[in-house]
């Protein structure tokens, strides 16, 4: 860890989400230098000053503002830049505003060798375009995708069953948005099918899926943004990559063959290694789940086509 270049992480965009990502990274001691960037120079600098003043309370790290071109030695760069969602607005409605920002940032990242993590919404469409605009290999451009939705699902199901969410093995795939798919058929607790678990009510599945789907909107309605959970998700994702933990995580990447899909990015369980997404898994689904998953892919493909044809 003595070589700072080996443990640098960059964050582009220091709004609500960027600052939460930074806080989670610092508390988890993931790097020894954190570079912050925002279009508003003063904001990135102010955040760096603020974090450094708290340096007695997290593992040793230096925080400073930086230009994007200074981040090319970072092991990972997180992109949260872009306009956030408004109450009642879908993630796809954000697209036109955020695609121009993506093109500008991606151009500055050409030749980058590390892992690029996209958090900005709509995350699937932007993951696709960041990969396309930057030319970075697809396995190294990773959208946080449904990693957060999966965490929300486990939290909500765990609360209903009075179990720790870590003990709920259930996944959300597809779009990080309204067409996402909960894989109830393969959900398990302690090796037992969730649907066979004592006290589980199958009639409540649609209600839980809807609660997961609408979670962000409910939070935005109350406080204007979602930031803490996605900050924890992103920091933990980086930690697993840097430690080469080879976890299986639901993440968004540009698909090259899985389920016959190409030219689209969306979430499926992936083997995550120190090099990024090593393999996308073609998991077993019911016919209904598969149909809903392909529908989700079409929703994202349509959004991608609208950008390409505009």
Give per-residue pLDDT as tens, 104-125. 999 999 999 999 999 999 999 9
> Residue 176: pLDDT band by 50, 70, 90 thresholds?
very high
Q: Under a CB-based contact definition with an 8 Å cutoff, are residues 22 and 11 in contact? A: yes
CA atoms within 13 A on the CB side of 52: 14
86-100, 117-131, 180-194: least confident range: 86-100
Catalytic member of 27, 72, 169, 176: 176
The reported pLDDT for the residue numbered 91 is 63
- Give dist(CA 232, CA 227) in Å, integer: 9
Return left, alpha or beta for 173; rule: phi > 0 is left, psi -120 to 50 is alpha, else beta: beta
Q: How far is CA 264 from the centre of its chain?
A: 16
> Which CATH architecture is the domain 147-308 placed in?
Alpha-Beta Complex (3.90)
φ/ψ of 235, rounded to 5, equals -65, -40
Superfamily of domain 4-143: NAD(P)-binding Rossmann-like Domain (3.40.50.720)
53 is catalytic: no
Looking at the predicted structure, is the pLDDT value of residue 94 above 80? no
Looking at the predicted structure, is the pLDDT value of residue 3 above 70? no
pTM, to two decimals:
0.94
More confident site: 8 or 88? 8
Looking at the predicted structure, is the pLDDT value of residue 5 above 60? no
Where in the chain are the domains?
4-143, 147-308
Q: Mean pLDDT, to the nearest integer, of 291-302?
A: 97
The reported pLDDT for the residue numbered 310 is 76
Helix ranges restricted to H, the chain: 16-27, 41-53, 95-108, 123-134, 147-161, 205-213, 215-223, 228-242, 287-308
């Amino acid at each position: 860890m003595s070589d700072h270049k080996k443990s640098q992480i960059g964050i582009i965009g220091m709004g609500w989400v960027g600052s939460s990502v930074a806080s989670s990274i610092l508390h988890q001691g993931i790097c020894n230098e954190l570079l912050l960037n925002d279009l508003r120079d003063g904001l990135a600098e102010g955040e760096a000053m603020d974090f450094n003043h708290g340096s007695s309370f997290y593992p040793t790290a230096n925080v400073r503002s930086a230009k994007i071109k200074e981040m090319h030695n970072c092991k990972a760069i997180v992109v949260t830049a872009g306009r956030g969602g408004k109450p009642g607005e879908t993630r796809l409605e954000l697209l036109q505003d955020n695609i121009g920002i993506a093109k500008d940032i991606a151009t500055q990242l050409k030749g980058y060798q590390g892992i690029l993590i996209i958090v900005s919404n709509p995350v699937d469409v932007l993951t696709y375009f960041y990969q396309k605009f930057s030319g970075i290999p697809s396995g190294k451009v990773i959208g946080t995708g449904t990693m957060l939705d999966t965490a929300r699902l486990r939290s909500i199901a765990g609360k209903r069953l009075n179990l720790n969410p870590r003990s709920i093995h259930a996944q959300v795939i597809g779009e990080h948005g309204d067409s996402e798919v909960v894989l109830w058929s393969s959900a398990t607790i302690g090796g037992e099918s969730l649907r066979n678990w004592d006290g589980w009510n199958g009639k409540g599945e649609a209600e839980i899926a809807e609660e997961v789907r609408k979670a962000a909107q409910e939070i935005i309605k109350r406080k204007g943004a979602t930031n803490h959970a996605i900050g924890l998700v992103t920091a933990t994702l980086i930690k697993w990559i840097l430690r080469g933990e080879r976890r299986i995580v639901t993440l968004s990447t540009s698909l090259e063959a899985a389920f016959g899909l190409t030219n689209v990015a969306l979430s499926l369980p992936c083997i995550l290694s120190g090099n990024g997404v090593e393999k996308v898994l073609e998991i077993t689904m019911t016919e209904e789940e598969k149909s809903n998953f392909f529908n989700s892919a079409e929703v994202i493909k349509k959004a991608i086509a609208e950008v390409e044809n505009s």
